[in-house]
Chains A and B, each alone.
Chain A
Amino acid sequence: GAVVSQHPSWVICKSGTSVKIECRSLDFQATTMFWYRQFPKQSLMLMATSNEGSKATYEQGVEKDKFLINHASLTLSTLTVTSAHPEDSSFYICSARRTGGAEAFFGQGTRLTVV
């Protein structure tokens, strides 16, 4: 149990377009989902925390209009990178926390390349 599926695994898009990344908890309900960004050779940086049915809480320095997060159901959260630019190229990874639990489970990550 506790499987989190993230899609797509990788995506290449043109500068100025938007990209949506999905994070699904396959076999549990996730009240809270977290979105991280990781630059090469660096640690994971928390971007935002989303709770089902409410607005996401963004970490300091993360543009909420740039990185739109929607957590419409207990099994799905989406991250949309709007008007992507080459500097948005990164590895994005989500995690989902089971309702009532402390531990979060990670998706496989999405490697975004903006050209």
Chain B
Amino acid sequence: AQKVTQAQTEISVVEKEDVTLDCVYETRDTTYYLFWYKQPPSGELVFLIRRNSFDEQNEISGRYSWNFQKSTSSFNFTITASQVVDSAVYFCALISNSGGSNYKLTFGKGTLLTVNP
């Protein structure tokens, strides 16, 4: 079975603060993919990053960075110098092909990030 846990339901920060969103996953597969999506109030899911299980390199993209640690089954997301426009719900998700599952995407419950001016 696959599971994604985002323990933080809501986070509120003041603009320019750094914030880290936690994600812990469970899977029995050795090959899997991890994702982060942003969902602004409009509802559409905005793809942020994909990481496969064989690539543990951390990634930085502008103010965003991701820390993938297989030893702790975590894929945490950090926003540096947060801005009001970062306010959204962020979902961590996992794909694997357990038992021919058609690569179903398993989502965490999401973290609502509010960045206050």
Q: List 17 A-B contacts (CB under 8 A).
A: A32-B103, A44-B91, A44-B107, A49-B104, A57-B102, A91-B43, A93-B43, A97-B103, A102-B95, A102-B97, A102-B103, A103-B95, A103-B103, A104-B105, A106-B37, A106-B44, A109-B43
State which residues 73-115 of A face B: CB under 8 Å. Answer: 91, 93, 95, 97, 102-106, 108-109, 111
Leading 9 A-B pairs by shortest Cβ distance: A106-B45, A43-B109, A109-B43, A108-B44, A102-B103, A43-B107, A44-B107, A49-B102, A43-B110
Docked pose: A97 CA to B91 CA in angstroms: 19
A91 to B104 CA separation, bound complex (whole angstroms): 19
Point out the residues of chain B lying under 8 angstroms from A105, CB to CB.
47
CB-CB under 8 A for A46 and B104, given A108-B44, A111-B43 = yes
Give residues in A with beta carbon < 8 Å to B.
32, 34, 38, 41-44, 46, 49, 51, 57, 91, 93, 95, 97, 102-106, 108-109, 111
With a CB–CB cut-off of 8 A, which chain A residues contact B50?
Answer: 103
Q: In the complex, how many angstroms separate the beta carbon of B46 from the nearest chain A beta carbon?
A: 9
Cα distance, A12 to B32, chains bound together (Å): 39
- Total chain B interface residues with beta-carbon distance under 8 A: 20
* Cβ < 8 Å to A, chain B residues 85-110: 91, 95, 97, 102-105, 107-110
